[in-house]
Amino acid sequence: MKVLGLTGGIGMGKSTVAGMFAARGISAFNADEAVHELQAPHGAAIPALAAAFPGVVADGVLDRAALRAQVLADDAAMKRLEAIMHPLVRAMEGAFIAKAERAGRRAVLLDIPLLFEVGGEGRVDKIITVSCPRETQLARVLNRGVPRAQIEAIIARQMPDAEKRRRADFVVETSGTLEATQAQVARIIEELKL
Protein backbone atom coordinates (compact mmCIF):
# COMPACT_ATOMS: atom_id res chain seq x y z
CA MET A 1 0.00 0.00 0.00
CA LYS A 2 1.31 3.44 -0.94
CA VAL A 3 1.19 6.16 1.69
CA LEU A 4 0.92 9.65 0.23
CA GLY A 5 1.63 12.77 2.26
CA LEU A 6 -0.40 15.90 1.54
CA THR A 7 0.90 19.18 2.88
CA GLY A 8 0.66 22.91 2.33
CA GLY A 9 0.16 26.10 4.29
CA ILE A 10 -3.07 27.33 5.80
CA GLY A 11 -5.65 28.25 3.15
CA MET A 12 -3.84 26.48 0.30
CA GLY A 13 -6.68 24.03 -0.42
CA LYS A 14 -5.55 20.81 1.27
CA SER A 15 -9.05 19.76 2.32
CA THR A 16 -10.40 20.29 -1.18
CA VAL A 17 -7.56 18.25 -2.72
CA ALA A 18 -7.94 15.51 -0.09
CA GLY A 19 -11.62 15.32 -1.01
CA MET A 20 -10.68 14.87 -4.65
CA PHE A 21 -8.42 11.94 -3.77
CA ALA A 22 -11.19 10.45 -1.62
CA ALA A 23 -13.63 10.73 -4.53
CA ARG A 24 -11.17 8.56 -6.48
CA GLY A 25 -11.05 5.90 -3.77
CA ILE A 26 -8.01 7.08 -1.79
CA SER A 27 -9.17 7.79 1.73
CA ALA A 28 -7.46 10.44 3.80
CA PHE A 29 -6.36 10.84 7.38
CA ASN A 30 -6.71 14.50 8.35
CA ALA A 31 -4.28 15.55 11.09
CA ASP A 32 -6.21 18.76 11.80
CA GLU A 33 -9.45 16.80 12.28
CA ALA A 34 -7.61 14.41 14.60
CA VAL A 35 -6.43 17.39 16.67
CA HIS A 36 -10.01 18.70 16.88
CA GLU A 37 -11.24 15.27 18.00
CA LEU A 38 -8.53 15.01 20.65
CA GLN A 39 -9.29 18.54 21.87
CA ALA A 40 -13.09 18.17 21.79
CA PRO A 41 -14.94 18.37 25.10
CA HIS A 42 -13.54 15.64 27.34
CA GLY A 43 -11.28 14.47 24.47
CA ALA A 44 -8.16 12.40 25.08
CA ALA A 45 -5.84 15.45 25.07
CA ILE A 46 -7.87 17.55 27.52
CA PRO A 47 -6.28 16.35 30.81
CA ALA A 48 -2.73 16.92 29.53
CA LEU A 49 -3.64 20.32 28.08
CA ALA A 50 -5.26 21.39 31.35
CA ALA A 51 -2.11 20.42 33.25
CA ALA A 52 0.33 22.06 30.81
CA PHE A 53 -1.66 25.26 30.17
CA PRO A 54 -3.53 26.37 33.29
CA GLY A 55 -6.70 28.30 32.54
CA VAL A 56 -7.38 26.95 29.03
CA VAL A 57 -9.69 24.11 30.11
CA ALA A 58 -12.89 24.51 32.13
CA ASP A 59 -15.23 21.62 32.90
CA GLY A 60 -13.48 19.42 30.34
CA VAL A 61 -13.86 22.00 27.54
CA LEU A 62 -10.85 23.59 25.85
CA ASP A 63 -10.86 27.33 25.16
CA ARG A 64 -9.02 27.11 21.83
CA ALA A 65 -8.60 30.89 21.56
CA ALA A 66 -6.95 31.02 24.99
CA LEU A 67 -4.63 28.15 24.08
CA ARG A 68 -3.76 29.78 20.74
CA ALA A 69 -3.00 33.07 22.53
CA GLN A 70 -0.56 31.25 24.84
CA VAL A 71 1.34 29.31 22.18
CA LEU A 72 1.49 31.37 18.98
CA ALA A 73 4.07 33.84 20.27
CA ASP A 74 5.88 31.52 22.71
CA ASP A 75 8.21 28.86 21.29
CA ALA A 76 8.50 27.00 24.60
CA ALA A 77 4.72 26.85 24.98
CA MET A 78 4.38 25.65 21.38
CA LYS A 79 6.88 22.87 22.06
CA ARG A 80 4.86 21.80 25.14
CA LEU A 81 1.71 21.71 23.03
CA GLU A 82 3.43 19.70 20.28
CA ALA A 83 4.82 17.24 22.85
CA ILE A 84 1.25 16.55 23.95
CA MET A 85 -0.51 16.53 20.58
CA HIS A 86 1.95 14.93 18.15
CA PRO A 87 2.13 11.48 19.81
CA LEU A 88 -1.67 11.34 20.11
CA VAL A 89 -2.16 12.30 16.45
CA ARG A 90 0.53 9.82 15.36
CA ALA A 91 -1.30 7.03 17.23
CA MET A 92 -4.54 7.89 15.40
CA GLU A 93 -2.64 8.01 12.09
CA GLY A 94 -1.13 4.58 12.78
CA ALA A 95 -4.55 3.11 13.53
CA PHE A 96 -5.90 4.62 10.28
CA ILE A 97 -3.06 3.10 8.21
CA ALA A 98 -3.41 -0.30 9.89
CA LYS A 99 -7.16 -0.34 9.17
CA ALA A 100 -6.54 0.60 5.53
CA GLU A 101 -3.95 -2.18 5.17
CA ARG A 102 -6.37 -4.73 6.64
CA ALA A 103 -9.01 -3.54 4.17
CA GLY A 104 -6.60 -4.06 1.25
CA ARG A 105 -6.48 -0.40 0.18
CA ARG A 106 -4.12 0.43 -2.69
CA ALA A 107 -3.18 3.78 -1.15
CA VAL A 108 -4.00 6.26 1.59
CA LEU A 109 -3.44 9.98 1.92
CA LEU A 110 -2.10 11.60 5.08
CA ASP A 111 -3.26 15.22 5.16
CA ILE A 112 -0.61 16.73 7.46
CA PRO A 113 -0.17 20.51 7.16
CA LEU A 114 3.17 20.43 9.02
CA LEU A 115 4.51 17.26 7.35
CA PHE A 116 7.97 18.71 6.72
CA GLU A 117 8.07 20.68 9.98
CA VAL A 118 7.52 17.52 12.05
CA GLY A 119 9.95 15.39 10.04
CA GLY A 120 7.18 13.26 8.56
CA GLU A 121 8.82 12.66 5.17
CA GLY A 122 10.02 9.23 6.25
CA ARG A 123 6.46 8.08 6.97
CA VAL A 124 5.25 8.53 3.39
CA ASP A 125 6.16 7.21 -0.04
CA LYS A 126 5.40 10.40 -1.99
CA ILE A 127 4.73 14.00 -0.96
CA ILE A 128 2.15 16.27 -2.56
CA THR A 129 2.27 19.98 -1.75
CA VAL A 130 -0.83 22.09 -2.31
CA SER A 131 0.00 25.65 -3.27
CA CYS A 132 -1.51 28.95 -4.37
CA PRO A 133 -0.35 32.59 -4.47
CA ARG A 134 -0.07 34.30 -1.10
CA GLU A 135 -2.84 36.78 -1.93
CA THR A 136 -5.23 33.89 -2.63
CA GLN A 137 -4.12 32.14 0.55
CA LEU A 138 -4.74 35.24 2.67
CA ALA A 139 -8.12 35.92 1.07
CA ARG A 140 -9.29 32.34 1.71
CA VAL A 141 -8.34 32.43 5.38
CA LEU A 142 -9.70 35.95 5.90
CA ASN A 143 -13.01 34.68 4.47
CA ARG A 144 -13.08 32.13 7.32
CA GLY A 145 -13.16 35.04 9.75
CA VAL A 146 -9.60 34.58 11.02
CA PRO A 147 -7.94 37.91 11.95
CA ARG A 148 -5.06 38.89 9.69
CA ALA A 149 -2.55 39.09 12.58
CA GLN A 150 -3.40 35.51 13.56
CA ILE A 151 -3.04 34.35 9.94
CA GLU A 152 0.38 35.99 9.70
CA ALA A 153 1.46 34.33 12.98
CA ILE A 154 0.35 30.91 11.69
CA ILE A 155 2.10 31.39 8.34
CA ALA A 156 5.28 32.51 10.14
CA ARG A 157 5.38 29.15 11.99
CA GLN A 158 5.02 27.16 8.77
CA MET A 159 7.75 26.29 6.30
CA PRO A 160 7.71 28.75 3.38
CA ASP A 161 5.59 27.64 0.43
CA ALA A 162 8.57 27.80 -1.94
CA GLU A 163 10.51 25.33 0.25
CA LYS A 164 7.54 22.95 0.48
CA ARG A 165 7.18 23.08 -3.30
CA ARG A 166 10.90 22.37 -3.75
CA ARG A 167 10.83 19.34 -1.46
CA ALA A 168 7.60 17.80 -2.79
CA ASP A 169 7.32 15.02 -5.35
CA PHE A 170 4.19 16.69 -6.77
CA VAL A 171 2.75 20.20 -6.55
CA VAL A 172 -0.98 20.84 -6.97
CA GLU A 173 -1.74 24.45 -7.87
CA THR A 174 -5.12 25.44 -6.44
CA SER A 175 -5.52 29.00 -7.70
CA GLY A 176 -7.37 27.91 -10.84
CA THR A 177 -10.71 26.23 -11.31
CA LEU A 178 -11.81 23.14 -9.42
CA GLU A 179 -11.67 21.28 -12.72
CA ALA A 180 -8.02 22.26 -13.18
CA THR A 181 -7.24 21.04 -9.67
CA GLN A 182 -9.11 17.77 -10.31
CA ALA A 183 -7.08 17.25 -13.48
CA GLN A 184 -3.84 17.61 -11.50
CA VAL A 185 -5.06 15.06 -8.93
CA ALA A 186 -6.02 12.67 -11.75
CA ARG A 187 -2.54 13.01 -13.28
CA ILE A 188 -0.87 12.18 -9.95
CA ILE A 189 -3.06 9.09 -9.49
CA GLU A 190 -2.31 7.99 -13.05
CA GLU A 191 1.44 8.59 -12.71
CA LEU A 192 1.56 6.59 -9.48
CA LYS A 193 -0.59 3.85 -11.04
CA LEU A 194 -3.11 4.00 -8.22
Confidence check: pLDDT of 177 > 90: yes
Q: What is the overall mean pLDDT for the chain?
A: 94
Domain that holds residue 144: 2-27+105-191
- How many folded domains does the chain comprise? 1
Residue 18 lies in a domain: yes
- Give me the pLDDT at residue 154, please: 85
Mean pLDDT across 125-140 = 95
Residue 163 lies in a domain: yes
Confidence check: pLDDT of 11 > 90: yes
Over residues 56-107, the pLDDT tens digits come to 999 999 999 999 889 988 889 999 999 999 999 999 999 999 999 999 999 9
Which DSSP symbol is given to 63?
-
* pTM exceeds 0.85: yes
Confidence check: pLDDT of 166 > 90: yes
Q: String of b and e for 112-121 (b: at least 16 CB within 10 Å)?
A: bbbbbeeebe
Mean pLDDT across 169-194 = 97
Residue 39 lies in a domain: no
- Give me the pLDDT at residue 22, please: 95
How far is residue 170's CA from residue 51's CA, in Å, rounded to a whole number? 41
Calculate the alpha carbon distances from 65 to 14, 50, 68 in Å.
Answer: 23, 14, 5
Question: What's the CATH code of the domain at 21?
Answer: 3.40.50.300
Residue 171 lies in a domain: yes
Mean pLDDT across 144-162 = 88
- Give me the pLDDT at residue 187, please: 97
Which DSSP symbol is given to 74?
-
- Give me the pLDDT at residue 146, please: 87
% of the chain surpassing 70 pLDDT: 100
Residue 56 lies in a domain: no
